[in-house]
Structure 1
Amino acid sequence: MNPITEQDIAEFLIQTPDFFERHAELLTAVQLTSPHGGRAVSLQERQAEMLREKIKVLEQRLMELMRHGNENMLIGDKLQRWSRQLFLVHRAVDLPVVLLSEICAQFNVPQAALRLWDVAEVYAQESFAVGASDDVKSLASSLSAPYCGVNAGFEAVQWLEDPQAAASLVLLPLRPNASAPAFGLLVLASPDAARYEAGMATDFLERIGELASASLSRLRSL
């Protein structure tokens, strides 16, 4: 006859849920080791400790969800204020300057720059419309999502006021729709190498790219 194993006992208790109703005295007789100090405690006390631990974990998760919710609300407010400033720009030629200054102010971005191409002839000599090489244009069109990561010597970094201070970057392609070639590139930079990391969530950055693309479309050639 095979000896009874712990698994056999566990299966028996699962299959016999009324066992402890018939033997309630065992609940007080069973002694377990508490993880808090190693003292012996009853089964009920150990269950209470486990419940308290579960409640503590759930409270921590709730606090984290609340923190994320507050952060998302603040980001939403900043996005709304930034978008509002773009709507208030009367002259299309002023859009790039306002877009960059407000993105730095609202989102605490140390440096930002952009270049556009295929703009209307009247804007062809503006500073935002010159200096983008064919390589940059090809890179922008190849990006299906924002690039986030270290400064790997991208040519577009030279558009920044202080390229040497750019340790991490975001490269946002500007395009009229998801399937169209890019007509510009927006660069966000930080001296903090961990500010923009590969693998970070890009949903919010994609919204910025979509809004920037929509507003700057006023400068494109028809």
Structure 2
Amino acid sequence: MSNDHMNPITEDDIANYLANSPGFFERHAELLASVMLTSPHGNRAVSLQERQAEMLREKIKALEHRIMDMVRHGNENMVISDRVHRWAKSLLLVQSSRALPATLVSELQSQFMVPQVALKVWDVDTRYAQDPYAQGVSEDAKTFASSLTQPYCGVHSGIEAVRWLDEPNAAMSIALIPLRPGAMNGAGPAFGMLVLASPDPQRFQSGLATDFLERIAELAAAALSRLRPR
């Protein structure tokens, strides 16, 4: 019995032969014209050329969707960048250091359409120690803020800082943004924390990209450094 009967030719053998024999279809060009395939758009037979054209159209459509997604994300990033710019500008225009925290909070609410924002700052200069934003922070809350090296997004689950909000029960999702000198993810202790809250559970959901929140943290920390002892 011959080896051919023992090892019949498989589809893989044919595929490998064609892949390694680029001149095959040049020598048998008539085969390409006679190949008929099943169309993915119905059970009709189409030529190889038509099937290739359908595959190209599908690839082009997929690329168009990717481009549109990139444009949409680019536009969203531009909008966010513009809001951060306007918010930072409002902080620079504040003349009174004592008025800075209230302006920071109100402008953050209006520019980013955040329903609730709270701010606490500690270790401030004695001139500001009796102001509302410098009151009512436990040592545990300060330690918790210092333990965050990036903003926390998710549900509040009994976090003390949520009680700094005017309506804690309406906070279905929150973002906690620690404020520390220098970089957002620096090793130094935090000297404050921002709380952003929404009644929408998806607004600050866990896993949310926090790039722009980190920019807000660094800008807020830089602005509020005016309240710290010199």
**2:210 maps to which of 202, 208, 215:** 202
The CA distance in 2 between the partners of 1:71 and 1:195, in whole Å, is 15
Other structure's SS at 2:195 match: strand
1:86-105 correspondence to structure 2 within 5 Å: 86-105=91-110
The CA distance in 2 between the partners of 1:25 and 1:153, in whole Å, is 74
Other structure's SS at 2:194 match: strand
1:213 partnered with 2:221: yes
How big is the alpha-carbon RMSD for the aligned residues of Structure 1 and Structure 2? 0.7
Deviations 1:130-170 (A, max 9, x none): 01111110100000111000121111111111111001000
How far did 1:27 drift?
1.0
The CA distance in 2 between the partners of 1:102 and 1:188, in whole Å, is 13
Deviations 1:78-106 (A, max 9, x none): 11000000000011111110101011111
**1:107 maps to which of 98, 109, 112:** 112
How far did 1:16 drift?
0.9
1:127 corresponds in structure 2 to 132
Identity of aligned residues (%): 63
Letter in 2 for 1:67: R
Letter in 1 for 2:224: L
How many residues are treated as equivalent by the alignment? 222
Q: TM-score, normalised by structure 2?
A: 0.95
2:87 corresponds in structure 1 to 82
Letter in 2 for 1:180: G
The CA distance in 1 between the partners of 2:8 and 2:100, in whole Å, is 81
Q: TM-score, normalised by structure 1?
A: 0.98
The CA distance in 1 between the partners of 2:74 and 2:127, in whole Å, is 45
Unaligned 5+ segments in structure 2 are none
1:37 corresponds in structure 2 to 42
How far did 1:35 drift?
0.7
Other structure's SS at 2:201 match: coil
The CA distance in 1 between the partners of 2:11 and 2:204, in whole Å, is 51
1:160 corresponds in structure 2 to 165
Other structure's SS at 1:193 match: coil
1:185 partnered with 2:185: no
Letter in 2 for 1:165: A
Unaligned 5+ segments in structure 1 are none
